[in-house]
Structure 1
Amino acid sequence: MYRLDRYWHGFVHILFPQRCAGCDTTLCHQERILCTTCLYHLPKTNYHLDPENETAKQLWGKVVFHRAASLLTLSKSSRVQRIIHHLKYGQQPDVGIYLGKMYGKILRSTPIVKGVDLIVPIPIHPVKKRRRGYNQSEYFARGLSEVLNIPYDTALLKRTVNSVSQTRKSRAARYDNVEGVFTFVPQRRARAIAHVLLVDDVITTGATISIAAQQLIDGLGCEVSILTIARA
């Protein structure tokens, strides 16, 4: 049975070859999402080792948080940019789960996730979610949840304003673009939530995630830590 299953997967791989999300080369049978070369060359930040890392500094003065970190550094026309593009616009949500599991394995014995009760992904507007079919940050949260054995919740935050893309906006305009776009939605729970891990795909100015974090702090009276896949 195992041999038959292996032959079937090999046959499917020949007919519908999987491509690397980082460089678009055909993946070998044992590779998944990223090829060995892209895995080896991923620009991991190791921010979890430094409480005063660049992601944390990006949030200083914007919101009170416990810890903050990003898995990767994002630069223009890089493999990380291609990976994020596949995750957000290429109908490949499994990229988010894959990266969540990767980061979870790195973080599971570190202070940044110690005492975390709940993982919350940054929500996208329902209109955008219907058009895209999924929320990429939710899939990142799923991967983290599976490895860290911490539940995730997609109902605590609601995006009420369908903001336009932040990509071409100035830093000041980015804050105007996200002001008031999130609403905290109270949930009935068996126990209090003291520490939330808020996650998103990319942090640039920190405008979006700071506004969302403040909603959680005000709504739950909790401590918030922040994780993203990449820092631009």
Structure 2
Amino acid sequence: MNWFAFRCIYCQRKLAIGSHGLCCSCNKQIRRFNYCGVCGSELAENTLGCGNCLQNRPAWHRMVIIGAYKMPLSSLIHRFKFQNSFYFDRTLARLLYLAIRDARRTHGLMLPEVIIPVPLHHFRHWRRGYNQADLLAGQLAKWLNIPCNNRLIKRVKHTRTQRGLSAAARRVNLQKAFRFADKKQACPYKSVALVDDVITTGSTLNALAGLFVQQGVEQIQVWGLARA
């Protein structure tokens, strides 16, 4: 029920169920597709592994996404990240939560030990006022009953924005950008899920996943709102 007349965060229609945040009509407009459960490439049917990731194998092992970075999802993500719409976290996290549940059926996904949001550099965090990945991870942790650890990894290099950069330039931009907060402590997990908003070339997640590979983590998943 919607006793308080909550409205869709995209089209402003009154919601049948206020807690959902997005009306059925706008939800249906999100472009969802069958995808490779490793690299997220669009495929004719859901599978694990495809020609794209065989040629350029990512550092992680599994991927979960809601859908394509197209309207209305792209607009919601942009407002969430850049227009101080931090309160979109519950609605977007719910969509990702449903995608995770679906991936357990379509891709045989096993849930990880811990959820880790992609960290922001402290300067960017200060300017924005929040880390959007951290907000998403916190919601998912509650619903999945999995701990969220937002202190394990630090972003120590204030990189230029990745938007508009080529894949090669993104990789250079992210060299030595992350490290474990405690250099002396080994990673205590064998399976982790890294949460991010938009997955484009995967350079950020590859850089992060590489750190966990070095620590002997056996299963690295990436959970993202959209694949661009």
State how far apart, in whole Å, the 1-side matches of 2:99 and 2:168 are.
34
CA RMSD of superposed structures (Å): 3.0
- Cα separation, partners in 2 of 1:205 and 1:53, compared to 1, 3 Å: closer
Q: Is the 8 A contact 1:97 1:142 kept in 2?
A: no
Q: Is the 8 A contact 2:64 2:100 kept in 1?
A: no
**What's the CA shift string for 1:123-164, capped at 9, x where partnerless?**
011111111111001111122212211111101110111111
Pairing partner for 1:72 from 67, 71, 93:
67
- Cα separation, partners in 2 of 1:53 and 1:93, compared to 1, 3 Å: same
State how far apart, in whole Å, the 2-side matches of 1:88 and 1:119 are.
20
Alignment of 1:66-215 (within 5 A): 66-75=61-70, 78-108=71-101, 109-110=104-105, 113-186=109-182, 192-215=188-211
Q: Is the 8 A contact 2:65 2:99 kept in 1?
A: no
Q: Is the 8 A contact 2:115 2:137 kept in 1?
A: yes
- Larger proportion of helix: 1
State how far apart, in whole Å, the 1-side matches of 2:122 and 2:38 are.
34
- Residue aligning to 2:22: 34
Give the letter aligned to residue 83 of structure 2: G
**1:22 paired to 2:22:** no
Q: Is the 8 A contact 2:155 2:178 kept in 1?
A: yes
Give the letter aligned to residue 156 of structure 2: T
- Residue aligning to 1:3: none
Task: Identify which range, 121-130 or 168-177, moves more after superposition.
Answer: 168-177
Equivalent pairs counted in the alignment come to 214
Structure index of larger Rg: 1
Q: Report SS of the residue matched to 1:199.
A: strand
Structure 1 portions without partners, runs of 5+: 1-5
TM-score, structure 2 normalization: 0.79
Give the CA deviation at 1:199: 1.2
Give the letter aligned to residue 119 of structure 1: I
